[in-house]
């Protein structure tokens, strides 16, 4: 994302990052890749820095709109949009995933296959060797 923002000509001097991993390692990696930018990396940064709180809200609103407006490519008779919040603890989301998994193809295109929640569903499907 930082690279894309720089490529479109934005003068980026400071970046705040909310992380679940090791802040020091992530800051070092980002600083190495972008030495002219000051990086502030912290766990729970959205509760520490107002700018991150605002960005978090904007990201959630954007995500909610994208999910709401998603055009499903799949045409199965049983597919529906009652997928809940999209968070793994949501019973509606769990139910939707359970009811829309396919043993070969995985899930409809709406679902991010790299999502850790999907890995348990893939274990019960057909094994694919790449």
What is residue 98's predicted lDDT score, i.e. its pLDDT?
86
Q: Is the pTM of this model over 0.85?
A: no
More confident residue, 43 or 123: 43
27-77 pLDDT tens trace: 999 999 999 999 999 999 999 999 999 999 999 999 889 888 888 888 777
What is residue 17's predicted lDDT score, i.e. its pLDDT?
96
What distance in Å separates the CA atoms of residue 33 and residue 68, rounded to the nearest whole number? 35
**105 confidence band (pLDDT: 50, 70, 90):** confident
- CA-nearest of 103, 99, 95 to 123 is 103
Radius of gyration of the chain (CA): 19
């Amino acid at each position: 994302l930082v690279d894309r923002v720089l490529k479109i000509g934005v003068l980026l001097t400071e970046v705040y990052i909310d992380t679940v991993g090791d802040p020091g390692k992530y800051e070092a990696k980002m600083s190495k890749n972008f030495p002219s930018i000051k990086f502030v990396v912290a766990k729970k940064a959205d509760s520490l820095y107002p700018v991150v709180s605002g960005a978090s809200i904007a990201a959630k609103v954007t995500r909610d709109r994208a999910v709401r407006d998603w055009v499903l490519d799949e045409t199965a008779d049983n597919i529906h949009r009652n997928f809940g919040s999209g968070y793994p603890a949501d019973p509606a989301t769990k139910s939707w995933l359970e009811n829309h998994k396919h043993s070969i193809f995985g899930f409809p295109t709406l679902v991010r296959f790299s999502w850790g929640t999907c890995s348990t569903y893939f274990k019960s499907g057909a094994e694919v060797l790449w």
